[in-house]
Amino acid sequence: MTQSLPPIDVLVSEVGPRDGLQSVKQTMPTAAKLRWIGALAAAGLREIEVGSFVSPKRLPQMADAAEVVAAAIKIPGLSVLALVPNLKGAQRALEAGCPRVTLPVSASETHSIKNIGMTTEAAIAQVGEVCKLRATLDHPFGVEVGISTAFGCTMEGPVPEDRVIALAVELAKAGADSVGLSDTTGYGNPAQVKRLFTRLHAELGEKAGGGHFHNTRGQGLANVVAALEVGVTTFDSSQAGLGGCPYAPGASGNIVTEDLVFLLESMGLRTGVSIDKLLEARKVLAEGLPGEALYGQVADAGLPKGFKPAGAAA
């Protein structure tokens, strides 16, 4: 954390070890996870969501979250995040030494109950509880929230934009450091992205978080471009689009880190990430999850002849 890193324009937050791994059937062994996280950090990724403190019965792939966090926080310069669904998860994350947690709160009541087993109201209350816990500690930790189904829900359909923004305001009041918007379902479109993030910035100011887009309908990077237009500077993505999408064979779930970094760097926006080293990390991922489908068009097609990333100028 103390080393001096070159400046970046956009933060790419890697969620593969959490969002990706929880979506595949195989459980990646802990040692393989740590090799992969190490390779991702070595590629220049500065923030990685390394696991999820949920019930191991529900997600056995995440049973080793404490061990993974404890090892990942030793990587110099890496900001480590873990997902926690509630206060209990946050306590476990803290015990493991996790400096920052992220809680999912769904804008769709139906999705909230299916995803984390509680209403949206109850999920907001959990954010409040986690922030209260923080206030009692000598070593405070970061508390982020991502609003799930912010762009629509596979069960409820369209989600009113007013509801999403009112929820973001409530979450900021509950004490969250930042509130981002997640297109959990791949329903979002660039016009909606611009509207929602413009309102989020207006209402939350410094507490407005980043964008988490899925590529289920091929619109992920189009939504990133729209978000960039209105000043969003943090994006979640998953190496190799890991986890795919159960509803769309061949379609990735999360946007693909390699393709996102290529987009940003080719636009002249510095990410601090080396695409060549990302492709090396991809091999480490493949070794840890044999036979798993890996996505990504830059990985398939290769870099353009004569390509110069924005960061190369630094």
- Interacting residue ranges for its own copies, rule: CB under 8 A: 152-158, 185-187, 189-192, 215-219, 221-222, 224-226, 229, 245, 247-251, 256, 259, 262-263, 266-268, 296-298, 300-302, 304-306
DSSP for 81-130, written as a single string = EEE-SSHHHHHHHHHTT-SEEEEEEESSHHHHHHHHSS-HHHHHHHHHHH
**Is 153 an annotated catalytic residue?**
no
Question: Which stretch of DSSP H or E encloses residue 234?
Answer: strand 234-237
Residue 137 backbone phi and psi in degrees, to 5: -100, 150
CB atoms under 10 Å from CB of 132, counted, come to 12
- Taking the complex as a whole, the smallest distance from the CB of residue 263 to its own copies amounts, in Å, to 6
Provide the minimum distance between the beta carbon of 9 and its own copies in the complex, in angstroms, as a whole number: 12
CB of residue 110 to its own copies, shortest distance in Å: 11
DSSP labels for 56-78?
TTT-GGGTTHHHHHHHHTTSTTP
Which residues, other chains included, contact 55 with Cβ-Cβ below 8 Å and sequence gap of 6+? none
Torsion of CA 250, 46, 8, 148, to 10 degrees: 50
- Report, in Å, the least distance between residue 187 CB and its own copies: 4
* Between 178 and 216, CB nearer to its own copies: 216
**Of residues 178 and 223, the one with the C-beta less far from its own copies:** 223
User: Smallest distance from the beta carbon of 87 to its own copies, in angstroms?
Assistant: 32
Residue of 98, 131, 153, 245 with catalytic role: 245
SS3 of 281, please? Answer: helix
Residue 13's H or E segment, with its range, is: strand 11-14
Cβ closest to its own copies, residue 50 vs residue 193:
193
Element (H, E) at 171: helix 161-173
Residue 133 per-residue DSSP state = H
Residue placing its CB nearer to its own copies in the complex, 103 or 263: 263
Task: CB nearer to its own copies: give 187 or 197.
Answer: 187
Residues assigned a catalytic role: 245
